[in-house]
Amino acid sequence: MTPVMLGLIGIAVFFVLILLRMPIAYAMALVGFVGFSLLVNPQAGFSMVARELYSTFSSYSLSVIAMFVWMGFLAYYSGIGSRLYVFAYKLVGHRPGGLAMATQVACAAFGAICGSNTATAATMGAIALPEMKKYQYDDSMATASVAAGGVLGVLIPPSVIFIVYGMSTEQSIGQLFIAGIIPGLLLMLMYIATIRLLTLRNPNLGPAGPKAGWRERWQALRGGLGEVLAVFALSMGGLFAGWFTPTEAGAVGAAGVLLVALLGRHLNWEGLKSSLLDATRTTAMIMLLVAGAVIFGRFMAVSRLPFELANWTAALAMPPWAVMALILLIYLILGCFIDALALILLTIPIFYPIVVGNLGYDPIWFGVITVLVVAMGVITPPVGMNVFIIKGVAPDVPLETIFKGIWPFLGAIIVCLAILIAFPGISTWLPNLLR
Amino acid sequence: MKYLTALVQGFSRVLDRIAGVCLFAIMFLVVLNIITRGIFNHPIAGTYDYVNLLTAAAIGLALAYCAFQDGHIAVSFVMEKLPPKMQAVIDLLINSLGLVFWALAAWFTAGYARSLTANNMVSATSEVPLSPVVYLITLGLVGLGLVLLLRIIESWKRMIS
């Protein structure tokens, strides 16, 4: 059997194992180890696993993931998410669908101090859903808008997926962070437009709430957005000003949220403890995925599958945009079944050399596009992580109802994606300006 | 069974608490280093090494409790459609496969730690021995194995009930 054939069989076995409910990280590590051992030898396989586990866990650059994840949980436990939401709904809550629009603004702002889309969805779900229920929003509209809003947390920096993409491709994490800002804001506006259109057609989807005066709005602004702006300016501003590295920015961000929370007396001992324990759990999950992908990547490298695939694509008589479209379609399909982070880790070693090396696309632009495409997977059936999280927050709403409401938001993401593909400058202009 | 569950939960939770302390220490150390570097032009020597080692310890030690809380992402939409007995059988097989793999990984990680000790491997700048952290990762993998053992017993019980 040729190494390439073994690589293909390895991928098939990986899919069988994850469909049989083996955690994705375990399946990647196990298949990676067995494949590597068959192609090299078992002794080399075991020492590779031990070495890669240690080197991934002790990676200085990846330590930032733990910090950005903790930052998000600190913001949740200190009620920053809740204060952000209050500000957003005092601003637009009086319009039809206003609470759902407010959720998008709050998700985008929360994304600026949180690295994980699931944490953004969980935080906003817990805060926004009870409010929307109070104002008799349609269940489908309420739950789907929060699940979709979580995607904003992926694009708006800091973002764990961008860090992992940057690490896998040796691209600047700072540049990727900047590149995500405008597409993130664009997507937020697309969501708001979608909600507006939906409520214009059927106002019962999101009845208008009470209107707040400018004085109330100003007070809410100081409470919620002020804290976020201060922390964002400190961690991201200091990073772009060159005061500290991207890795250090995570620790500065976590310290900033902790300081804001302690000064405002919004965090007690229990909250601090819970934030740390939630952060260790989430970080362990992410880092075992990364380690599993690294081990799987070793197997892929010795099987020579990525190189053969790159050669095969180069020999295809297809224009670059058609190859790109094919790759995005593969991402879209796989994204329905595999977690966004795992998908990036699994596929970047295979597709990145083709897209950037063979086809000559911009690596930062490809990062933004890939991250957005895989992020769609967190709200598409049958495995939409954000939808499951929202289901956890609103157990009385059936999964089908949430997925039914997701379609218009998916449409908004696809339009946003088309705009980003048609006008690559939207993603690359800001990083080039600040380079 | 109750005792075993309590034992595995207690053990993995203790490891997780230590991981939490490590995370706090990383934040504290990095921020202190930035302040002393920026204001006093005097960075804390070895911060890079300490952050690496603390991160490795935090992640290794948090693996087991994450597994205990079913925190490692899995896809369950296919399995949910199968009859409960068949689910139990497949869970038993899959968890056994996982247990064998992670137990072997723990064994070889301990071997890697021993080789680091034998070769006196230390960190690049502060010259801290590397092997204790690798032993902590081994401990985390042992915890992960214990959680999988617990899941195997649970699947077995579901299978024969």
The interface residues of chain B toward chain A in range 10-69, judged by CB-CB distance below 8 A, are 16-17, 19-20, 23-24, 26-28, 30-31, 33-34, 38, 48, 51-53, 55-56, 58-63, 65-67, 69
Query: Does B100 touch chain A if contact means CB atoms closer than 8 Å?
Result: no
Q: Does B133 touch chain A (CB under 8 A)?
A: yes
Best of B72, B115, B141 to disrupt the A interface (most A CBs within 10 Å) is B72
Q: What are the residues facing B122 on neighbouring strands?
A: B129
Which range scores top for mean pLDDT: A103-112, A234-243, B77-86, B95-104? Answer: B95-104
Query: To the nearest whole angstrom, how far is the Cα of A63 from the nearest Cα of chain B?
Result: 6
Residue contact B20–A287, C-beta within 8 A: no
CA closest to B12 among chain A residues? A281
Closest by CA position to A118, among listed A151, A156, A88, A165: A151
What distance in Å separates residue B98's CA from the closest CA in chain A?
7
Largest pairwise CA distance in chain A? 74
> Which site among A54, A64, A383 would you substitute to test the B interface, given the most B Cβ atoms closer than 10 Å to its Cβ?
A54
Q: Say which of A50, A284, A385 has its CB closest to residue B66.
A: A284
- Asked if A349 and A297 count as a contact pair (C-beta separation under 8 A), the reply is yes
The answer, yes or no, to whether residue B155 has pLDDT greater than 90, is: yes
What value of ipTM does the predicted structure carry?
0.95
Q: How far is the CA of A206 from the CAs of A42, A97, A120, A140, A233, in angstroms? A: 60, 4, 22, 10, 34
Which of A18, A281, A383 lies nearest to residue B69, judging by beta carbons? A281
Specify burial of residue A40 (Cβ count, 10 A radius: 0-12, 13-18, 19+): middle
Structure tokens at A131: 């409010």
Q: Given pLDDT bands bounded at 50, 70 and 90, which one contains residue B117?
A: very high
Q: Do B108 and A60 touch (CB under 8 A)?
A: no
Quick one: average pLDDT of B10-22? Answer: 96
pLDDT of residue A297: 85
Which residues of chain A does B133 touch, with a Cβ-Cβ cutoff of 8 Å? 54, 58
Q: What is the pLDDT at residue A332?
A: 83
Encoded tokens for A128: 């926004």
> Quick check: B119 contacting A, CB < 8 Å?
no
pLDDT of residue B23: 95
B1 Cα to chain A: minimum distance (Å)? 23
Nearest to B19 among A62, A248, A280 (CB): A280
Q: Which residues of B touch A19 (CB under 8 A)?
A: 75, 78-79
- pLDDT per residue as tens, chain A (435 positions): 899 999 999 999 998 999 999 998 999 999 999 999 999 999 999 999 999 999 999 988 778 888 888 888 888 888 888 888 888 888 888 888 988 998 898 888 888 877 677 778 878 888 888 888 888 899 999 999 999 998 998 899 888 889 889 988 989 888 999 999 999 999 999 999 999 999 999 988 988 877 878 887 787 777 667 778 888 888 878 877 888 887 788 899 899 999 988 988 888 999 999 999 989 998 999 899 889 988 998 898 899 887 787 777 777 778 888 888 888 888 888 887 777 887 888 888 888 888 888 888 999 999 999 999 988 888 887 777 788 888 877 878 888 889 899 999 999 999 999 999 999 999 999 888 876
pLDDT value, residue A224: 67
Of B31, B58, B98, the CB nearest to A251: B31
Of A18, A58, A382, the CB nearest to B56: A58
Q: Which chain B positions have a beta carbon within 8 Å of A288's beta carbon?
A: 59, 63, 66, 72
**What pTM was estimated for this model as a whole?**
0.85
C-beta atoms surrounding A402 within 10 Å: 25
Q: Which residues of B touch A244 (CB under 8 A)?
A: 34
Closest to B76 (Cβ–Cβ): which among A21, A53, A67? A21
Q: Does B136 touch chain A (CB under 8 A)?
A: no
- Chain A contact set for B71 (CB, 8 A): 281-282, 284-285
Residue among A96, A177, A169, A171 nearest A137 (CA): A96
Give the other-Cβ count within 10 Å of B73's Cβ. 20
- Cα separation, A275 vs A262, whole angstroms: 14
Give the list of residues 6+ apart from residue B129 with CB closer than 8 angstroms, or none: B116, B117, B120, B121, B122
Cα A112 from Cα A108, distance rounded (Å)? 7
Task: For chains A and B, count residue pairs whose Cβ atoms are closer than 8 Å.
Answer: 178
Could you tell me which chain B residue has the CA closest to the CA of A250? B27
Residue A86: Cβ within 10 Å count: 23
The reply to whether residue A251 touches residue B27, judged by beta carbons under 8 angstroms, is yes
Closest CA in chain A for residue B71: A285
Q: Which of B73, B94, B108 is opposite residue A285, by nearest beta carbon?
A: B73
**A255 near B31, Cβ under 8 Å?**
yes
